[in-house]
Amino acid sequence: MALSGVASVCVNHPSVEAVGRCKQCSKPFCAACKIQGPTGFFCSADCKQKHEVFVKRAQSLDVKKGGLGIGYALSKMMGWAIAVLIIAVVLVVAGTIFNIPVLSPIVHSVRGTIGF
Ligand SMILES: [Zn+2]
Ligand SMILES: [Zn+2]
């Protein structure tokens, strides 16, 4: 991750050429100071931690904000419920019409559950 063309030096070591910029404070850091975090590279452990806190807060804000998120989750759950219901009905109907021995315990329990 070398900076091309930009001759910057490390924020901690003024005599060492920087290899990248901190994702949190955007200060240049050298290879010795470089700290890799799950979200990018940082000039210090402090910056890495700050950025992780920031990312976590942003994520939790997204969750709180999300009418869309909840709506999406709900519609997904509805989709699953409908799919399960359709499978149950198909099982019951198939089990009733063809009288499949393997299916009959399942058919009975599904019938009991949905009261069919
Ligand atoms: Zn930093
Ligand atoms: Zn350094």
Q: Which residues keep their CB under 5 angstroms from ion ligand 2? A: 10, 12-13, 30, 32-33
pLDDT digits (tens, 9 = 90+) for 10-35: 999 999 999 999 999 999 999 999 99
pLDDT digits (tens, 9 = 90+) for 66-110: 556 777 888 889 999 999 999 988 888 887 787 767 767 777 787
Ligand 1 centroid from CA 43, angstroms: 4
Can you say whether residue 6 is alpha, beta or left, with left for phi > 0 and alpha for psi between -120 and 50 degrees?
beta
Indicate which ligand has the atom closest to the C-alpha of 8.
Answer: 2
Q: Which residues keep their CB under 5 angstroms from ion ligand 1? A: 22, 24-25, 43, 47
Domain boundaries, the chain: 1-47, 67-114
Reported in sequence order, the residue ranges of 2-115 that DSSP labels E, i.e. its strands, are 20-21, 28-29, 35-37, 40-42
Question: Would the pTM count as exceeding 0.85?
Answer: no
